[in-house]
Amino acid sequence: MAREQRLAEVFVELADTLVDGFDVVDFLQVLTERCVELVDTDAAGLMLDDQRGNLQVVAYTDESARLLELFELQREEGPCLDCFASGETIANVDLADAAGRWPTFAEAAREVGYTVSHALPMRLRGQVIGALNLFTIAPTPLSDDHLAVVQGLADVATIGLLNERAIRDQVVLSEQLQTALHSRIVIEQAKGILSAQGRTDVAAAFRLMRTHARRSGEPLTAVATAVIDGSLDAERLHRASGSTA
């Protein structure tokens, strides 16, 4: 499929927030997945403002991205936080050269193998509701075109989220985020279950669920719920991912 055609598809996918059973976590998970799919980057993580004075890690494409996002929150240092505070994009950060600005973050990101990072605001007009972080292994900067694509995706997702909230009766961001946080916890619980069943680490357990979600077209939270209720287990997921179908 031509890149432009795929891009158009993804924009439509992210604009569609008025569906039944809309889930913030699944929606933002799709956003992070599509960023990694469409531009030259290896991992993505996303934080949202929970309206209670905290940023929360809501979506990520792999465990290392989650840990780096959490690291930023715990150390109160990093490009995602600066991007959220300023509402400005911080693109093409050379992590080998960022020790002056974010000493502990730059070191942690390099340790897990990333050389370049980017942070883009989730912003609509004056309101910044979160930030998107991208991490790249190869020392290649993102082109202006790719940056524009990511910012476009983030903008569409932000508008979608704010719209989604506006149309519901008496539903506010805090409720959305509380639900989102619990969806996130469901995924963490399922990771633990899978890692114990398959005797793997939680990062591998997450990859297993993510791969299954992608192949089956099911939302990640639905896969996690199935793991918890027992209708999916490590063996079945392994078997499904081992097949070439």
Partner 1 sequence: MASNRVTEIVAAVEARCPDGRGQPAALVALCAEWLPVTGAGLALMTADGPAGTVAVSDGPAGELEELQFSLGEGPCVDASRTGRPVLQPDVARTAPGRWPAFAGGAHAAGLRAVFAFPLRVGAIRVGVLDLYRDTVGVLSPEELTDALAFADAATLIVLGLPAGDGGEHGPRDPVAVLDDRAEVHQATGVVSVDAGVTLEEALMLLRARAYAEHRPIRDLARDVLRGVVHFRTKDDDR
Say whether residue 51 binds partner 1 (CB under 8 A): yes
Biggest CA–CA distance in the chain, Å, is 50
Considering only residues 92, 115, 163, 178, which one is a binding residue for partner 1 as defined by CB under 8 A? 178
Say whether residue 42 binds partner 1 (CB under 8 A): no
Return the number of the residue (88 or 164) whose C-beta is nearest partner 1.
Answer: 164
d(CA 89, CA 162): 20
Site residues for partner 1, 136-155, by CB under 8 A, read: none
- CB atoms near residue 101 (< 10 Å): 14
Task: Tell me how far, at minimum, the Cβ of 52 lies from partner 1, in Å.
Answer: 4
Alpha helices in the chain (DSSP H): 3-15, 24-38, 63-75, 79-86, 103-111, 144-167, 173-198, 202-216, 220-229, 234-242
Considering only residues 174, 215, 216, 241, which one is a binding residue for partner 1 as defined by CB under 8 A? 174
| Contact map string, positions 87 to 126, toward partner 1, x by CB under 8 A | ----------------------------------------
Which residues, in sequence order, are bridge partners of residue 20?
none
| Contacts of residue 110, Cβ cutoff 8 Å, sequence gap at least 6 | 95, 96
Strands 55-60 and 90-94: unpaired
Task: Tell me how far, at minimum, the Cβ of 47 lies from partner 1, in Å.
Answer: 10
Per CB under 8 A, residues contacting partner 1 are 50-54, 56-57, 66, 70, 169-175, 177-179, 181-197, 201-202, 225, 228
